[in-house]
Structure 1
Amino acid sequence: MTLPAALVAELSALLGEGWRTDEITRTANGGDDSRRHALPDAVALPRTREQVVALVRACRAHRVPIVARGAGTATTGAAVPTQGGVVVSFARMDRVLEVRAADRCAVVEPGVRNGALQAALQPHGLFWPPDPSSFESCTVGGNLATNAGGPRAVKYGATRDNVLGLVAVTGTGELIRVGGAYTKCSSGFDLTRLLVGSEGTLALIVEATLKLAPRPQAQAGLRAFYRDAASAAAAVSRLMAQPVVPAMLEFMDRRSLELLRRNGSGVPEAGAMLLVEADGSVEALPDILAALGAAADGDGLIDMDVAQDGIARDKLWAARRALSPALRTIAPGKINEDVVVPASRIPELVAGVEALADACALPIVCFGHAGNGNLHVNILYHPDDADESARAQAALPRVFALALSLGGALSGEHGIGLSKRAFMADAFDAATLEAMRAVKRALDPDGILNPGKLLPD
């Protein structure tokens, strides 16, 4: 689309050098880690919430789409401006406004990098629990938009569980304040949790009050190998049933372990592996570790390693960190979608994916956050092979159908964006989808915020 001259003049005057229409900036802000790309008509880089309010009101007056953007690390295409319009980058709104250690919260702008926030909190002995794999580069705003998780979510919860309040600009250009620096509230609708995970379709978040946790004094790890996925899943149930909640609980399937052996990671032959992290006080950690080890033990266990010092723990987790890069050694093309099922249904999910891999004659690798039942299903193929590409694309809806049939959901942490939008009608009935659309109409009546994402037509 071509932006109206009046809008260009207004936003140029409002933002000064923060209004960009050059092709280099537009191209750099047109894609994300989904490998999708579309060119916006302009990129806005506001510095204040007042500028965001004025920008939204101006775009609404001219019915111009707005797509909010963090660091572009999302994998679903949620930040891709498929209908052109204005990309609002929060790169310049990147301040940690306040660390309130006594209230165990921090007030931040959306452009703050997750890794930079953790560094700022370290002197206070605190941390913010969400830890997606891209934590060093992803932004808090992006974490909020997708309800990002990570390995620590099994104990500390995902982003939605670690946000106390928000300031946001709705699609009408109104500034709203929801929640606050308190952990308990029974005052009206919980709009804070509603906005987190809405992928920029309801409002643009300009400030967040984040719930912080004390840094544990000590950490230790377990690595357990099992005969098959069913044995590993039974161990997950035992681990989650005992009083001590693991800080992390990661699963890797048989194909993951085969890949690691092929790349020299030195893991033994097994049907599945669990990586378990414990944290707590120095005095309590040995008992915590013993309890987790006892729960991990059981039928199907082949071998178990224990690591209490930092170097040994790093060695245990090296295989997990090496897995994603190693996938590219199988095939250059990768469809990586996360699904979530009840933890007790993990064996059925893994068995179904293995059967699908055989039926499609494609390598499909499963790993992820077992304690939450949230697994990453990686379909690997060669993009230059038309037949393989077609089989990979045909496998994707079958993965989603499998997860839904097991009482699961389309995503545990990546979100919906573009890649899963067409499947939302399979995941929700018509009445539920209409309730979601009603919320969208209330906060964004003209549909200018991230159009074409999340909700199906």
Structure 2
Amino acid sequence: MASTLPAVLEGELSALLGDGWRADDDARAAHAGDGSRRVALPLGVATPADREQLATLVRACRRHRVPLVARGSATSSTGAALAGDAIAVSFARMDRIVEIRADDRVAIVEPGVINGALQRALAAHGLFWPPDPASADDCTVGGNLACNAGGPHAVKYGATRDNVLGLTAVTGSGEIVRVGSATSKDATGYDLTHLIVGSEGTLALIVEATLKLAPLPAARASLRALYADAAAAAAAVARIMAQPVAPSMLEFMDAACIRLAREVGGADIAEAGALLMIEADGDVDTLPFAVAALERAARGDGLLALDTAPDPAAGERLWAARRSLSHAQRAIAPAKLNEDVVVPVSRIPALVAGIEALSREFDIPIIAFGHAGNGNLHANILYDPDDAGQRARAHAALPRLFALTLSLGGTLSGEHGIGVAKRAFMAQAFDAPTLAAMRAVKAALDPDGILNPGKVLPAA
């Protein structure tokens, strides 16, 4: 692969894209980082206006063996959007909501659409798109698709992969492919739609998506349950998920999280070993019955307190504790390794206990919170990057966290993806034949390996 931009290619791209092609220092610097706080300077920045321009761009780069890396809003916490020694492909100009078909409950959008902007447009039709990552006001739908983003609503409505019906994408050969359909059932051929979703731009570059929508619920209600320890909270999670009423959110906070939320974030939470934030949604008439069912399931051994929020204002006060965590972490340490590991729900106590043991062993704060109903916890390893000892201990704790997760039957990521941050650990998560199958898929769709190289799959 080229480490410098061939002059011939630069001329081709300038002619193709006009002011949508920039290779000046300012543009390259503006597209050098992402949410992982890593920095890698791209060779240039291409901003195509439509799929035909993008396909032509890919074919030109393939001829010159110059890699491309798709970028939305670069909120990735894994380095998936870094374009060092590659062309950064910005989808800022491909940001149209093409169509909202309310009767079919689908929306057709381009990848540069901001998640939050889409939600506001859908609300006018009484609809929403369930994926709701914390960065919804910044992240793009294309980025959500690339990383299979989730968020709190995934426990009831599923992650991104569960809420997309079809795609149009450009492969590494520069071919435009259309996969899936606008129907909710489709047993026609290979399911390439859900293969491309979550592939982090390594298989194809998405240019249009047909999204599955859901009706906005008429009402919501919240519960907050405090428990003596993580085992009691995990047992409650199992009970909640076993009964017929699906919570619309089910969030977990460990003891360290509770202390941070209270002492640093000012949240009104009593001391406890663990906390569950539970939400139900539905229509006004049936919601009280759903809340009662969730409350019954939340009760059990180890329950210390259970607060209900019968109205939106009270629910907002309950959820303020969860939102205070980001601020609280910044007050404790300026940097963090934010991992989104997943284990079976029954193994949450073992995961939390293991995280607490790692925190003691490495003498560094590690807090756990997240999407309990999916077994998806965010383990945040907090450290000061200017303290060499803390930095070394934080990075030494990371492989131990992944080893712990895999030993519990879990997986490396529930919604952030792999990028460069977790690439080296893929060989621990999958055996050699499985990785070979993944590489074969990559070679079929990207024969010259020009799409986001060095991400996801470990070196062979």
Q: TM-score range by the shorter chain?
A: over 0.9
Structure 2: gaps (5+ residues): none
Q: Give the 5 Å matches for 1:38-117.
A: 38-82=40-84, 84-117=85-118
Deviation sequence 1:376-428 (CA, Å, 0-9, x none): 00111111111111111000000000000000000000000000000000000
* Structure 1 position 141 matched with structure 2 position 142: yes
- Paired residue secondary structure (2:124): helix
Q: CA deviation at 1:308?
A: 2.1
Q: Give the 5 Å matches for 1:226-241.
A: 226-241=227-242
What letter is aligned with 1:29? H
Deviation sequence 1:194-231 (CA, Å, 0-9, x none): 00000000000000000000000100000000000000
- Paired residue secondary structure (1:328): helix
Aligned to 1:362: 364
Aligned to 1:252: 253
205-214 or 258-267: bigger deviation = 258-267
What letter is aligned with 2:126? G
* Structure 1 position 294 matched with structure 2 position 296: yes
Q: Give the 5 Å matches for 1:148-297.
A: 148-263=149-264, 264-297=266-299
TM, length-normalised to structure 1: 0.99
Structure 1: gaps (5+ residues): none
Aligned to 1:347: 349
Is this contact kept in 1: 2:221–2:280, CA < 8 A?
Answer: yes
* Structure 1 position 438 matched with structure 2 position 446: no
- Paired residue secondary structure (1:339): coil
Aligned to 2:327: 325
Structure 2 distance, partners of 1:218, 1:332, is 38
* Structure 1 position 24 matched with structure 2 position 26: yes
Structure 1 distance, partners of 2:274, 2:114, is 34
Is this contact kept in 1: 2:223–2:307, CA < 8 A?
Answer: yes
- Paired residue secondary structure (1:142): helix
Structure 2 distance, partners of 1:319, 1:304, is 15
Aligned to 2:133: 132
- Paired residue secondary structure (1:51): helix
172-181 or 257-266: bigger deviation = 257-266
Aligned to 1:410: 412
Structure 2 distance, partners of 1:29, 1:421, is 22
What letter is aligned with 1:217? A
TM, length-normalised to structure 2: 0.99
Deviation sequence 1:159-202 (CA, Å, 0-9, x none): 00000000000000000000111011111110000000000000
242-251 or 303-312: bigger deviation = 303-312
Structure 2 distance, partners of 1:242, 1:22, is 58
- Paired residue secondary structure (1:130): coil
Structure 1 distance, partners of 2:74, 2:335, is 19
Aligned to 1:453: 455
- The counterpart of 2:374, out of the listed 368, 372, 377, is 372
Structure 1 distance, partners of 2:260, 2:87, is 42
Aligned to 1:428: 430
Is this contact kept in 1: 2:165–2:212, CA < 8 A?
Answer: yes
Structure 1 distance, partners of 2:207, 2:40, is 24
Q: CA deviation at 1:329?
A: 1.2
Deviation sequence 1:255-312 (CA, Å, 0-9, x none): 0011112122121010000000100010000000000000001110000111121111
Aligned to 2:390: 388
- Paired residue secondary structure (1:40): coil
RMSD of aligned Cα (Å): 0.6
- Paired residue secondary structure (1:124): coil
Structure 2 distance, partners of 1:95, 1:372, is 32
Q: CA deviation at 1:241?
A: 0.3
Q: CA deviation at 1:79?
A: 0.4
- Paired residue secondary structure (1:193): helix
Deviation sequence 1:14-39 (CA, Å, 0-9, x none): 11010011111111111100000111
Is this contact kept in 1: 2:149–2:415, CA < 8 A?
Answer: yes
Structure 2 distance, partners of 1:172, 1:14, is 18
- Equivalences, count: 456
Deviation sequence 1:31-70 (CA, Å, 0-9, x none): 1000001111110011100000000000000000100000
